[in-house]
Structure 1
Amino acid sequence: MQTLTTKDLTLGYGDNIIIDDLNLAIPQGEITVFIGSNGCGKSTLLRSLARLLKPKGGDVVLDGEDIAKIGTKEVAKKLAILPQSPATPDGLSVKELVKQGRHPYRSFLKQWSKEDEHAVHRALEATNMLDFQDRAVDSLSGGQRQRAWIAMTLAQETDTILLDEPTTYLDMTHQIDVLDLLFELNEKDGRTVVMVLHDLNLACRYAHNVVAIKDKSVFAQGKPEEIVTCNLVHEVFQMKCDVTFDPMFGTPMCIPHGRGRCVFANGTNGLSGSRTAAN
């Protein structure tokens, strides 16, 4: 199984350093979620892992080799990335989009093959998009469109999938739908999934490994139940909260403190009771 690590990694834009001297190892065969406040460098780090951003210093190391020294198509056979809110050309069908995932395996001498066709079919099947393959991507709902893009990344047949905020702009139902799909891909195929999420409770529910980023580095890393505490939320997000447990999954669940405008009618800070405006 391939390895993905960073060594003394420094990232930034112009003179603005976003990530500084970072050493990080991504657990293989698990779901890793980057969390942190806006602008802390989550997406910047994810893009560098996919070789979309050149480091100012240090290296991203894939299978023991500096990723900058690996050919583009070879990287694309090992890592697939889904950026935030990707744009789809007008009129492109779902199947045509998913076929783009086979680009790393094609060349002037190697045209479309049965192997490519099978890979596309498997990707559409895994994402429950077979019935939509002839539909235009821009005619789909947000959740369906995101599944189509995930199908494209699956068609690359990589061991590792990187996703930048895959639930952005989706309603609650479609957020769970997409995250359940990624969880199933990890469970069934052992794929390594690395993603950025803003929702801390969803991160705790779906991640095996959480990486909290603050002050240009990793503030904490580990299993959600081991590292997600009131102190971590306060330090990373500057927010006071209580941390209890998800009643369905037993994972940490953050309950933010209010601004003093509402109290529980029963006088408690529990999970039940109606809320009324404070006097």
Structure 2
Amino acid sequence: MKNLQVKDLNFSYDKEPVLKDLSISIPEGEITVFIGGNGCGKSTLLRTIARLLQPETGKVLLDGENISRLKTKEVAKKMSILPQGPTAPEGLTVEQLVKQGRYPHQSWLKQWSTEDENMVRQALAATNMEDWAHQAVDMLSGGQRQRAWIAMSLAQGTETLLLDEPTTYLDMAHQVEVLDLLYELNETEGRTIVMVLHDMNMACRYAHNLVAIKDQTVYAQGRPADIMTVDTVNHVFELNCHITSDPLHGTPMVIPFGKRGASLYFEVHESL
């Protein structure tokens, strides 16, 4: 099933095209990762899907309905977004942050409820943040902060999570920690996860579905094993590489090389 579809999307910044006639379908219950070079429009696409940006033409469909015609609270109950490098007010605790995820469910007639409290507790448990519930967000490590923000998104109770470069500025250990958490949420709860990643190997390892963006539109979309090829890397990233199999996961592993690496690569292959 497809709960998110993008059709003929066009978007520009100061009359400079960023997305052009772009169409994709996001498989429900899977992890989809947008990849591409800097400035290719990955984050713009994600923000447009989240309705943070208004396209010039084209549309985003959420469960078959044009997202631009839906009420904000209605969208927020189905889809949450974690932007790149979110910041919390100084002194705000993890629990207070996670509670903000329940705001779309509040109204004058429906105030804080037992259901809201349970959703917050479940989100803290799912992200292993219970022990830090009363800790200030700005006092946490990078990985813990990301888990706290993800917990807020989980408390929102949406079926779909959008994340813009959730591993940026994190060291390798914390990157794996965050991506493992998202993978587990997909596996155990069936949540649809859409995110932007820079690391091609991490994208191949965790994604069911890759969307490679080049020249303001989709260059290739599909399973990592099908589309992560030397040709794709060369055209999308303008990078020479060798692709082998990840020894642990069996997913494509990209080994990039520059001019020196290219000469060594061809020397080895000519000798075989």
For residues 45 and 37 of structure 2, what CA distance do their matches in structure 1 show?
14
Relative to the length of structure 1, the TM-score reads 0.93
Determine whether 1:138 maps to 2:138.
yes
**Per-residue CA distance 1:87-127 (angstroms, 9 max, x = gap):** 11000000000000001100122111100000000000000
For residues 232 and 181 of structure 2, what CA distance do their matches in structure 1 show?
28
Partner of 1:205: 205
Partner of 2:34: 34
For residues 222 and 167 of structure 1, what CA distance do their matches in structure 2 show?
22
Partner of 1:5: 5
Runs of 4+ more than 3 Å apart:
261-264
8 Å CA contact 2:201–2:252 kept in 1: the answer is: yes
8 Å CA contact 1:142–1:170 kept in 2: the answer is: yes
SS of equivalent to 1:110: coil
Amino acid of the residue matched to residue 11 of structure 1? F
Amino acid of the residue matched to residue 46 of structure 1? L
**Per-residue CA distance 1:123-160 (angstroms, 9 max, x = gap):** 00000000000000000000000000000000011110
Partner of 2:232: 232
**Per-residue CA distance 1:230-255 (angstroms, 9 max, x = gap):** 11000000000000010000000000
Where does the alignment leave 5 or more consecutive residues of structure 2 unmatched?
none
For residues 85 and 142 of structure 2, what CA distance do their matches in structure 1 show?
10
For residues 205 and 11 of structure 2, what CA distance do their matches in structure 1 show?
29
| Deviation (angstroms), 1:12 | 1.7
For residues 268 and 134 of structure 1, what CA distance do their matches in structure 2 show?
57
Partner of 1:105: 105
Partner of 1:276: none
| Deviation (angstroms), 1:65 | 1.1
8 Å CA contact 1:2–1:159 kept in 2: the answer is: no
State percent identity of aligned pairs: 62
Amino acid of the residue matched to residue 84 of structure 1? Q
Partner of 1:274: none
As a proportion of its length, which structure holds more helix?
Answer: 2
Amino acid of the residue matched to residue 108 of structure 1? W
Amino acid of the residue matched to residue 172 of structure 2? M
SS of equivalent to 1:81: strand
1:1-279 alignment, distance < 5 Å:
3-260=3-260, 268=268
For residues 28 and 193 of structure 1, what CA distance do their matches in structure 2 show?
9
Say which is worse superposed, 158-167 or 250-259, in terms of deviation. 250-259
Amino acid of the residue matched to residue 121 of structure 1? R
8 Å CA contact 1:101–1:154 kept in 2: the answer is: yes
For residues 15 and 94 of structure 1, what CA distance do their matches in structure 2 show?
41
For residues 263 and 220 of structure 1, what CA distance do their matches in structure 2 show?
29
For residues 169 and 46 of structure 1, what CA distance do their matches in structure 2 show?
19
8 Å CA contact 2:211–2:220 kept in 1: the answer is: yes
Change in Cα spacing, 1:263 to 1:55, as seen in structure 2 (3 Å) is closer
8 Å CA contact 2:240–2:262 kept in 1: the answer is: no
| Deviation (angstroms), 1:63 | 1.2
Change in Cα spacing, 1:117 to 1:2, as seen in structure 2 (3 Å) is farther
Partner of 1:272: none
SS of equivalent to 1:180: helix
Amino acid of the residue matched to residue 113 of structure 2? S
Relative to the length of structure 2, the TM-score reads 0.95
8 Å CA contact 2:2–2:27 kept in 1: the answer is: no
SS of equivalent to 1:3: strand
